[in-house]
Copies of this chain bind each other. A is one copy, B any other.
Amino acid sequence: MTSRRDFLEKIAVSTIGLPFLSFANTACAEAEGPVADGKVLRVAIMGLGGYGTRVAEAMQSCTRAKLTGVISGTPSKIKDWQSKYNIPEKNCYNYENFDNIKNNPDIDAVYIITPNGLHKEQTIRVANAGKHVICEKPMANNARDGQEMVNACKAANVKLLIGYRIHFEPKTLEIVRMRMDGEFGKVKFFQGLSGFTIGDPKQWRLNKELAGGGALMDIGIYAINGSRYMIGEEPIWVTAQETKTDPAKFKDGVDETIQFQLGFPSGAVASCLSTYAMNNLDRFFLTAEKGYALLYPSTGYGPIEGETHKGKLMHPHKTHQTVQMDEMAAIIFDDKKPVVPVDGQEGVKDMKIIDAIYEATRSGKSVDIRM
Contacts and interface: CB of A to CB of B under 8 A. Distances in A.
A230 to B, nearest CB: 15
A191 B272 CA distance: 10
A191 B193 contact: yes
A71 to B, nearest CB: 39
B366 A241 contact: yes
Interface string A247-281: 00000000001010101001101010101011101
Nearest to A263: B243
Contacts of A275: 188-189
A191 B192 CA distance: 11
A239 interface: yes
A365 interface: yes
The number of chain A residues touching the other chain, given as a range, is: 20 to 34
A191 B271 CA distance: 10
- In the complex this chain forms, how many copies of it are found? 2
A245 interface: yes
Interface string A168-189: 0000000000000000000011
Given A193-B191, A271-B271, A366-B364, A261 B241 contact: yes
A198 to B, nearest CB: 14
A245 B265 CA distance: 10
Contacts of A365: 364-365
A287 interface: yes
B287 A269 contact: no
A245 B263 CA distance: 12
A40 to B, nearest CB: 44
Contact of A281 (B245, B279, B287): B287
Contact of A259 (B244, B266, B271, B279): B271
A279 B292 CA distance: 9
Interface of A: 188-189, 191, 193, 239, 241, 243-245, 257, 259, 261, 263, 266-267, 269, 271, 273, 275, 277-279, 281, 287, 289, 292, 364-366
Q: Which 8 A-B pairs have the closest CB atoms?
A: A245-B267, A188-B278, A259-B261, A259-B271, A243-B269, A278-B287, A241-B261, A364-B366
